[in-house]
Every structure is written in C-alpha cells, then in structure tokens.
Amino acid sequence: MAERLASWADTPTREAILSFIDRVAHGPDAVPEAERVAVFDNDGTLWTEKPMPTQLHYIVEQWKQQAAADPSLAEKQPYRAAVTGDFAWLGGALDRHYQGDDTDLKLLIGAVVGVTDGMSVEDYAASVSRFYEEAKHLTLGTPYADAVYAPMIELLRELEANGFTVYLVSGGERDFMRPMTEQYYGIPPERVIGSALGLRFDEDSGEVRYTAGLDFFDDGPEKPVRIWSRIGRRPLLAGGNSNGDLSMLGYARAGGGLALLVHHDDDSGRGDAPYDAGAERALAEASDRGITVVSVKRDWSRIFPEG
Amino acid sequence: MAERLASWADTPTREAILSFIDRVAHGPDAVPEAERVAVFDNDGTLWTEKPMPTQLHYIVEQWKQQAAADPSLAEKQPYRAAVTGDFAWLGGALDRHYQGDDTDLKLLIGAVVGVTDGMSVEDYAASVSRFYEEAKHLTLGTPYADAVYAPMIELLRELEANGFTVYLVSGGERDFMRPMTEQYYGIPPERVIGSALGLRFDEDSGEVRYTAGLDFFDDGPEKPVRIWSRIGRRPLLAGGNSNGDLSMLGYARAGGGLALLVHHDDDSGRGDAPYDAGAERALAEASDRGITVVSVKRDWSRIFPEG
C-alpha cells in the first residue's frame, strides 16, 4: 500500500489532517459519505500563483494579440504591461485588491471581459485548452500541469479514497479553470466554482455566450454563498491560502470541519519565494479561528511533482 | 430483467426515447459517459403542478401562520387568498406570467421572500422538510411523494442505468426542492438547479442566510445559462412541459440531443385535467424545433405511482 500523503513531512500538521479524515470517514463519529464535501481554493493553494496567476498569463497572451492587431492599444494599460512584459504591474493588481485598492483590478477585469465578450462558451474553452497545451510557466519553464503542488494533489486523492467529493472554489474565473481541472486535479467541470462572467443564451445559434460584464467575484464572503448555491451542503473540509479564503474556512469551522491555510514560508529555493502578501489577516487570525496552518517549509517534503 | 419504461405505452414516443438512449450509450455513436447529462424541469414535468405548484402550497401555509399572528395581513393579497383558500387566484399567477402579466407573480415573490428573509439555509431546509412530511396534495390527498409522474421517474432510472447524470432545472425555488429531490427523484442537492433567493454569509454565526431579494428567476433563456454555470456541459437530453422550457430544449437540440415536451392532454380522469395554458407556444413550435412531444394520454399507461 502506498504511503499516505507521501510528499508531506512527518509533522503534527500531517498527523492532524490524517486524524481528521480517519475520524469523519471511519469509526463512531463517521459522517455520511454524501456530506463529506471538501472545497479548495486554486491559485496559491493547489498550484503556484507566482509570478502571477495563470489566468493573467493567458489574458496577457490575448492582449498581446489584440495590441498586435491594433497598435494604439499598446499605449494604455493593461495592454502596455502585456506588450512590455511588465509582469510586476500585472501580478500586483490582485495584491493591491487585497490591500483595499481595486483600481487596477477593475482595469484588468474590464480588459478581461473584452477578450470574451460575445464568444460562445465552447469557443472560449477551446482557446483556453490550446493555451494549457502550449504555455510554459513563466519561471519554472514547465507546462502548467507541473506547476501544481504535489502535496495538495495527494491530499485530494486521499480525501477521495475516504469518500470525499472535492470542489474547487476559486476567485479565478470559472470557465478558465474548467478545461484543465479534470486533468490536473481530477475535478470535473461541474465541481468547479469560481468567479463568473455574465452569460446569455443566444436562441438563434443555440449557444451560451459571454456578455461584457462580470456576474460575480467569488472571493471573501461570496465563497460560502457560492458553495451553498452550487452544492447545497456545508463543507467538512476547506483549504485556502489568502484573506479571500477566510470566510470559506470559517464556514467549514462553524460546522465542526477542518480548515487549512497554506502558508508560503519556504525560503529553500525549492518552490515559490516566500510571501505573506494578501494573507496577512488570515495568518494573524488563524489560531483564534481554529484554522490549521500548513507551512510549506516545514510540512511539505516536496513542492512540485517529480519532473 | 424488469421491462424498460414499464409505465409507458408501446408507442413511437417510447421507442424514440429508448432508441436515443441506446444510440448515445452503446455502439459506434456512443457519447463519453461524462457527457451524458440529462436535465428536467420539475413542476408539470416530474410531478403534477395542479391545482397549483407545491411551493405555493408551502407558502400558503406560511402565510396563514403569519396572518394568524398579524390579522391585518389577512386584508391584503396574497395573504387574503391564503386565508380564504382562494387557490384559483394563487394558481393563476404563474399562468398570467406566461401570458405576459407579471403583476401577481411579483406580489407573490415579494411575499415569498418575506417568509425566508434573514433565515439560515439550514432552518429553511428543516421547515421545508417538515412540510413534505406532513402535507397532503390538495386534490389527490396523498403525500407529495406520490404526486410524481411514475413514467418520468422510470425514465430517470433508465437514464442512470445507461450512464447519464440527471439534473433538475426548474423555475421553482432551488432550496425548496433540495430537501425532497433525493427521496422523490434520486437527485442529490448538488444537482438541483432552480430560481434562487439572494444569499449572504453571516460571519458571526458562520451561517449562510437569505436576503430579502430574488437573485434570479430560472426560466426561459435563463435555464441554458444556469445549466452552463452549474454543469459546464451542454445537456444531451432535456425534458420540460411549458414555454419556459423552450430555450433549454433548444439548447439540447442544437447539440444533437433529445428534447421532450410533456403534453398534458389526458382527459381520462387518471391524472390532471388536461391543460395547455403556459405551453401554447412550446406545443405550436415543437415539430419545427425537433422536439418530441410526450402525450400523457397516449404515451403513459399509468400516471402516478401505484398506491
């Protein structure tokens, strides 16, 4: 039998996770299988979000193509950042959002929406699938399939082996994740919850198409709302890595569930450079809220899958 | 081996349904199992919606309790209709909506929202569950569990036996259906799509609660939008019974799927009195749109489960 959570170091964190799983899946306190629901954030929780979330990389490629077709675009943000490769400006937009400044996030969302406006959901899925086939992670140089966190993938499999059903609950755009989640995480499209672009049904073509708006941003207190809307159950386990996951972690905790917060504190050079940006409040409140902090440095013996 | 679709008469409709299932589940044209998604409307499709949708019955009971506590409510609609048992006024509100007059529907929605405003989703589920345990159908006199259409329940099981995953896609309110769909239809809460009350996360209690608004009404072109949002796949089979299902039926047809329209034409006294109200356009356009009409009179040998 393969070792459980083989890429996790033998620490109290690993022990706490396995004890929890054993308790709710077996023995006198077992929870019915249908109620064993686990939810995980995506960027920074299941795969790296550095140097910038994968979705931004995709969008940058689209903006470069748009600016090549219309050079006047290259004069303004965010197209200028895309053309000049100013990843710092782009990657910082989400950090600035978590620090309370939404200016650049709104600029980004507007241009994001411009990429898909009027497109059918199938055409977008095909475009995104091509990106995942061709793109290389900007610093690792690997396909994005190898930019996932091996310990977390093992945790997904461990949960499934114990009767859990796993959902993604991300601030990232839902339909950008769906084309890869089955292959990367073993999570099918119907279990992907995320921010949503507006949609309309085009009666003439029989296609569902994107509108020029954002329907909702799946972050913070919106996450428990979307979990209930989609699943109709409270999760028994929730995993995240940022302030935007705190409500979802609290939702699981209020029902006696396990809440995990991945802390990017690894300075060994094995993975992402350490960062707390966007997770300051979550880290400060974790102990009081009964949230289990997962230290990348101490609790993971390996970060990325073996090459 | 049990006969397939035993409560269906031996007609071309039954044959068309079985041929379609056999073709997409077996043989050279088989569709991958993950893509075998079937969606069904609820009221008038899987169970009777006469003399009025079950949800109205529940709401009427709540309004009667509210009017008993505050007699001034009994002077105005819809509480007056609830107290005096004016089911015609109540049942007609949805018909009038389909005929283009939303006045009474809005009155109803406002009072519906008043029942749940501030309530936690768990408390509402408990209240609804008690209703299903105690209530009797207003004309059949049976529990609502026996007001389902036996031929359609058989169809759900036949689809599942051939690798389909079945979803409810109803104009009815989602969380009113969830407490019964597993028992009545074998459909778990995560596969129930319907109209949604507004929700918010209450950080203090860790509960998801209803707001005083409707998030969206899941009818007409909203149905394909909600199907994509929730499932991320186009359905291979869709079943409905009214004009509000036409977009969803068209969505399935545009992908080469099977679309079924239940026509309430039975005048034998075995089930609902015949009605076309709210389905006029769907019935008129069915043939041109490639929609298969299911005649309750000719295609079903039995309507309700054996008592």
Q: Does A186 touch chain B (CB under 8 A)?
A: no
Is the Cβ–Cβ distance between B305 and B146 less than 8 Å?
Answer: yes
Instruction: Indicate if B36 and B152 belong to the same structural domain.
Output: yes
Hey, are the CB atoms on B232 and A208 less than 8 Å from each other?
no
The range of the structural domain enclosing residue B193 comes to 12-49+142-299
Question: Do residue B208 and residue A224 have CB atoms under 8 angstroms apart?
Answer: yes
Cα separation of the two ends of chain B? 23
Q: Strands A207-216 and A192-202: what pairing?
A: antiparallel
Contact A231 B200 (CB under 8 A): no
**Residue B37 pLDDT grade (very low, low, confident, very high; cuts 50, 70, 90):** very high
Q: Is A160 on the interface with B (CB under 8 A)?
A: no
In this complex, the residue of A196, A207, A251 whose CB is nearest that of residue B201 is: A251
**B211, closest residue in chain A (CA to CA):** A225
Partner-chain contact B251 A206, CB within 8 Å = yes
Distance from CA of B250 to the nearest CA of A (A): 6
Q: Is A136 helix (H, G, I), strand (E, B) or coil?
A: strand
Residue listed under structure tokens 């008038």: B44
Give how far B80 is from chain A: nearest CA, Å: 32
Say how far apart CA A236 and CA A219 lie, in whole Å.
Answer: 19
B32 at A interface, C-beta within 8 A: no
Whose CA is closest to A200, among B233, B231, B40, B226? B226
Burial class (CB in 10 A: 0-12, 13-18, 19+), B24: buried
Residue B94's pLDDT band (boundaries 50, 70, 90)?
Answer: confident
Residue B169 shares a structural domain with residue B254: yes
Total residue length of chain A: 307
Whether B247 contacts chain A with CB within 8 A: yes
Q: Which of B228, B222, B227, B230 is nearest to B247 (CA)?
A: B222
For residues A130 and A160, state if they share a domain: no
Helix (H, G, I), strand (E, B) or coil at A199: strand
Q: Do A34 and B188 touch (CB under 8 A)?
A: yes
pLDDT digit string (tens) for A72-108? Answer: 999 988 898 899 988 788 778 778 888 889 888 888 8
How do beta strands A207-216 and A237-240 pair? unpaired
Is there a domain that residue A248 lies in? yes
What pLDDT does B307 receive? 65
B189, B203, B234: residue with CB nearest A221: B203
The phi and psi torsions of A157 (rounded to 5 degrees) equal -70, -40
| Cβ–Cβ gap A205/B230 under 8 Å | no
Alpha-carbon distance A243 to nearest alpha carbon in chain B (angstroms): 14
Show which of residues 108-147 on chain B sit within 8 Å of chain A, judged by CB atoms: 121
Over residues A189-209, the mean pLDDT reads 97
What whole-number distance in Å separates Cα of residue A110 and Cα of residue A214?
9
User: What is the mean predicted confidence (pLDDT) over B62-69?
Assistant: 93
A93 and A74 part of one domain:
yes
- Please give the pLDDT value at position B144: 97
Same domain flag for B16 and B82: no
CA distance B265 to B269: 11
Are residues A28 and A152 both part of a single domain?
yes
Please report which confidence band the pLDDT of residue B105 belongs to, taking 50, 70 and 90 as the band edges. confident
Task: Name residue A287's amino acid.
Answer: S
Which of A203, A224, A225 faces B221 most closely, judged by CB atoms?
A203
Element (H, E) at A104: helix A103-116
Q: Which of A34, A206, A247 shows the shortest C-beta gap to B203?
A: A247
| pLDDT at residue B66 is higher than 80 | yes
B116, pLDDT greater than 90: yes
Q: What is the mean pLDDT of chain A?
A: 95
Whether residues A101 and A231 share a domain: the answer is: no
CA distance A130 to chain B (A): 18
Using an 8 Å CB-CB cutoff, list chain A residues near B177: none
**Residue A304 maps to a domain:** no
The model's pLDDT over B130-179, given as tens digits with 9 standing for 90+, comes to: 999 999 999 999 999 999 999 999 999 999 999 999 999 999 999 999 99
Average pLDDT, chain B: 95
Contacts made by residues A65-71, CB under 8 angstroms, sequence distance 24+: A66/A114, A66/A115
Contact assignment for B190 to A233 by CB distance below 8 Å: yes
What pLDDT sits at residue A178?
A: 98
Q: Give the model's pLDDT for residue A169.
A: 98
Examine residue B304 and state whether it is found in any structural domain, yes or no: no
Domain assignment present for B4: no
CB atoms under 10 Å from CB of A278, counted, come to 20
Q: Is the pLDDT of residue B12 over 80?
A: yes
- pLDDT band at A175; cut points 50, 70, 90: very high
Instruction: Retrieve residue B63's tokens.
Output: 């309004």
The pLDDT of residue A1 is above 70: no
Q: Are residues B222 and B283 in the same domain?
A: yes
Among the candidates B83, B107, B134, a domain finishes at B134
* Contact call for residues A223 and A231 (beta carbons, < 8 A): no
Mark yes or no for CB contact B254/A206 under 8 Å. yes
One-letter identity of residue A251: Y
A205 contacts in chain B (CB < 8 Å):
254
Q: Which residue has the tokens 């959002």?
A: A97
Among chain B residues, the shortest Cα distance to A174 is held by B229
Total domains, chain A: 2
Interface test mutation site (partner A, options B36, B190, B197, B251, max chain A beta carbons within 10 A): B190
pLDDT for the residue numbered A111: 86
| Residues with Cβ within 8 Å of residue B104, at least 6 apart in sequence | B77, B78, B89, B92, B93, B96, B97
Is the residue at B1 inside a domain?
no
Q: Kindly report, residue by residue over B202-221, the tens digit of the pLDDT.
A: 999 999 999 998 899 999 99
Are residues B201 and B70 part of one domain?
Answer: no
Smallest CA–CA distance from B207 into chain A, residue: A251
| The pLDDT of residue B3 is above 80 | yes
Q: What is the pLDDT of residue A95?
A: 80
Helix (H, G, I), strand (E, B) or coil at A132: helix
The shortest C-alpha distance from B299 to chain A (Å) reads 28
| Domain finish residue from B134, B157, B178 | B134
pLDDT tens figures, A201-237? 999 999 999 999 989 999 999 999 999 999 999 999 9
Percent of chain B with pLDDT strictly greater than 70: 99
Q: Which residues of chain A does B199 touch, with a Cβ-Cβ cutoff of 8 Å? A: 225, 228-229
pLDDT of residue B98: 82
Burial of A302: CB neighbours in 10 Å, binned 0-12, 13-18, 19+: middle
In this structure, is residue B125 part of a structural domain? Answer: yes
Contact of A273 with A241, CB cutoff 8 Å: no
Residue at A3 is within a domain: no
CB contact under 8 A, A190 and B221: no
| A143-165 average pLDDT score | 98
State whether the Cα torsion A231-A233-A239-A240 is positive or negative. Answer: positive
Q: A252-263 burial by CB neighbour count: b if 16+ within 10 A, else e?
A: bbbbebbbbbbb
Tens of pLDDT, residues B248-266 = 999 999 999 999 999 999 9
Indicate the angle between helix axes A87-98 and A103-116, nearest 10 degrees: 120
* Residue B225 to residue A188, Cβ atoms within 8 A: no
Which residues in chain A are contacts of B225 at CB distance < 8 A? 199-201, 208
Which residues on B lie below 8 Å from A193 (Cβ)? none
Same domain, yes or no: A152 and A214: yes
**Is there a single domain that holds both residue B118 and residue B191?**
no
Strand order in the sheet with B165-173: B207-216, B192-202, B165-173, B37-40, B237-240, B258-263, B292-295
Q: What is the pLDDT of residues A32-63, one digit of tens each?
A: 999 999 999 999 999 999 988 899 899 899 99
What pLDDT, on a 0 to 100 scale, did the predictor assign at position B197? 95
Cβ of A228 within 8 Å of Cβ of B208? The answer is yes
Does A225 sit within 8 Å of B199, measured CB to CB? yes
- Determine the Cα–Cα distance for residues A191 and B259; give it in Å rounded to an integer: 25
How far, in Å, CA of A186 to CA of A40, rounded?
Answer: 13
| CA nearest to A199 within chain B | B225
- Selected residue with higher pLDDT from A230 and B108: A230
Of B199, B223, B232, the CB nearest to A229: B199
Q: Is A5 left (phi over 0), alpha (psi -120 to 50) or beta?
A: left
Taking the Cβ of residue A219 and every Cβ of chain B, the question of whether any pair is shorter than 8 Å is answered with: no
Q: Which residues of B touch A250 (CB under 8 A)?
A: 203, 206
Residue A307 predicted with pLDDT over 70 = no
Q: Write out chain B residues lying below 8 Å of A244, CB-based.
A: none
For chains A and B, CB pairs below 8 A equal 84
Distance CA B26, CA B18 (A): 12
Gap between the Cα atoms of B41 and B49, Å rounded:
11
CB neighbour burial string for B119-129, b if at least 16 within 10 angstroms, e if fewer: bbbeebbebbe
CATH number of the domain at A30, please: 3.40.50.1000
- End of a domain among B69, B101, B134? B134
Asked if residue A149 belongs to a domain, the reply is yes
Residue by residue, DSSP assigns chain B as: -PPTTTTB-SSHHHHHHHHHHHHHHSSTTPPPGGG-EEEE--BTTTB---SS-HHHHHHHHHHHHHHHH-GGGGGSTTHHHHHHT-HHHHHHHHHHHHTT--HHHHHHHHHHHHHHTT-BHHHHHHHHHHHHHH-B-TTT-SBGGGSB-HHHHHHHHHHHHTT-EEEEEEEEEHHHHHHHHHHHHS--GGGEEEEEEEEEEETTTTEEEEEEEEEE---TTHHHHHHHHHHSS--SEEEE-SGGGHHHHHHHHHTT-EEEEEE----SSSSSPP--TT-HHHHHHTTTTTPEEEEHHHHBS-SSPP-
Is residue B240 predicted with pLDDT exceeding 60? yes
pLDDT in tens, A100-132: 898 888 888 788 888 999 999 999 999 999 999
Closest chain A residue to B255 measured between Cα atoms?
A206
Q: What pLDDT score was predicted for residue A93?
A: 79
Answer yes or no: do B185 and B262 share one domain. Answer: yes
What single string gives the DSSP state of each residue in A24-93? HHSSTTPPPGGG-EEEE--BTTTB---SS-HHHHHHHHHHHHHHHH-GGGGGSTTHHHHHHT-HHHHHHH
Looking at the predicted structure, is the pLDDT value of residue B1 above 60? no
A244 at B interface, C-beta within 8 A: no
Contact A38, A159 (CB under 8 A): yes
> Cβ(A229)–Cβ(A214) under 8 Å?
no
